[in-house]
Amino acid sequence: MDKMIIEGGIPLIGEVQVSGSKNAALPIIASSIMFDDAGNEIFNVPDLEDIKTIKKLLISLGAEIKESGETDKVIINTSNINNYEAPYDLVKTMRASVLVLGPLLAKYKRARVSLPGGCAIGARPIDFHLNALKLLGANIVVDHGYVEAFTEQLRGATINFPIPSVTGTENVVMAASLAEGTTVINNAAREPEIDDLILALNTGGADIKRIEPSVIVVNGVKKLNKLSHRVLPDRIEAGTFMVASAITRGDITIKDINIGHLKAVIDKLSEAGAKIVINSQSSLRIKGSKVIKSVDVATAPYPDFPTDMQAQMMALMTISSGLCVISENVFENRFMHVAELMRLGANVKVRNNFAIVKGVKRLSGAEVMATDLRASASLVLAGLASFDGYTAVSRIYHLDRGYEKMEKKLANLGAVISRVSEAESSNINEFAEKDINYGKGM
């Protein structure tokens, strides 16, 4: 298992390009199941472990996938699908594997998908997905840990989500696009990744409109032809680099982004004292300020502050000038990073879904362990702001699920960071003394 070794305290300076969005690419790749053309094209697909998992899943269903010479383009032919099962092995590595449920049901009228089980950030059931698909006419039983679903024909229905669910909305949008008649989704999630999926489906002949911020109308069509779509930029990766600038008191220009999708993060970081200049709709410059102000943060579904940025924002607040409260309102158990941040010297107390963060003057390097994707990003960020020795972040495979070439991008901004194997890093101080040139050769 690899570790990330970081020598902190260096302001990050320069330009960084953001990759395609993981959370948009996943449902779009899953949606290719429903398209008839043998050459569905998806551009700007990030090279990530989660993307490898969804490709593996599609291949196991019978799809053929080609990577083109351009590294971020994926070509998918799903015309030979002959298996309808998403096995436990894949679903447990990546919950988003449940995104094949809607497309398989819509196109092949059957699906067998493992229940994902709990994960590091909460129970995360999929009851909303299943209840909505039942309303569309699916027969669903849960047996031996698997969702067994079949239908003679899905039919349009009105779906009222109890609370907005991102992948729940996506599964229903996909299933409804090949259903007979019209589906209305009330209290649909508003995340931009859903609109990117809608755009992708509409390129192939689907008829889907968001008629109000939380209402999506899907007029079912008989078939979908060819998928050809460029995935939107990853707003969470962009936000993570914004915090990297703020936490190291750096000066970073972030390119290939969609400014409109970052409003809540821009507002919060500005409130915390960072100087943000919008260069264009796809680029901004963020300069960290010497004094990082304490700001309260409350996560909520889009367009509010994203839960996927909570851990990174907490890393920043650990070295802020005062006291703040971070409330996690989306997932019940998303504070696993707290104990690890405390190993770096942070002062955080958790009460239910609140974390009270009292800023400290400086963090100091230590060995820490990543517990989930965004928690690992927050530990890397905290490591970049730590002094007095190295920070070693283990279980870095979590980071590889959702950040493309993270250490290379950080090294290009001047970070002293390196990925090493467990054996190499058994004693980080000894490792440091070997005078290895961190950050080089990645």
Contacting residues toward ligand UD1, per CB under 6 A:
23, 26, 95-96, 122, 124-129, 163, 165-168, 189, 193, 307-308, 330-331
- From 108, 109, 161, select the one nearest 130 (Cα to Cα): 161
Phi, psi of 61 (to 5 degrees): -85, -15
Cα(305)–Cα(299) distance, integer angstroms: 5
Q: How far is the CB of 298 from ligand UD1 (least distance, A)?
A: 14
The token pair that represents 411 in the structure block: 């090294």
Whether the Cβ atoms of residue 309 and residue 374 lie closer than 8 Å to each other: yes
**Smaller CB distance to ligand UD1: residue 310 or 391?**
310
Q: How far is the CB of 345 from ligand UD1 (least distance, A)?
A: 27
* Type of residue numbered 130: L
Residue 324 appears among annotated catalytic residues? no
Cα(411)–Cα(14) distance, integer angstroms: 10
Q: How far is the CB of 262 from ligand UD1 (least distance, A)?
A: 15
> CA dist 94 to 114, 275, 398, Å?
11, 36, 11
**Smaller CB distance to ligand UD1: residue 7 or 328?**
328
Q: How far is the CB of 179 from ligand UD1 (least distance, A)?
A: 19
Cα(31)–Cα(33) distance, integer angstroms: 5
- From 438, 308, 317, 441, select the one nearest 3 (Cα to Cα): 438
Q: How far is the CB of 409 from ligand UD1 (least distance, A)?
A: 20
- The total of other beta-carbon atoms located within 10 Å of residue 305's CB is 24
The token pair that represents 163 in the structure block: 């609370």
Q: Please tell me whether residue 437 adopts helix, strand or coil conformation.
A: coil
Cα(293)–Cα(220) distance, integer angstroms: 50
**Smaller CB distance to ligand UD1: residue 330 or 392?**
330
Q: How far is the CB of 134 from ligand UD1 (least distance, A)?
A: 12
**Smaller CB distance to ligand UD1: residue 332 or 430?**
332
**Smaller CB distance to ligand UD1: residue 124 or 408?**
124
**Smaller CB distance to ligand UD1: residue 166 or 292?**
166
Question: Cis link prior to 192 (omega < 30° from 0)?
Answer: no
Of 65, 81, 115, 119, catalytic: 119
Cα(19)–Cα(234) distance, integer angstroms: 6
Q: How far is the CB of 420 from ligand UD1 (least distance, A)?
A: 28
**Smaller CB distance to ligand UD1: residue 53 or 425?**
53
- End-to-end CA distance of the chain: give it in Å, rounded: 17
Polymer length of the chain: 442
Residues 6+ apart with CB under 8 A from 211: 217
Active site residues: 119
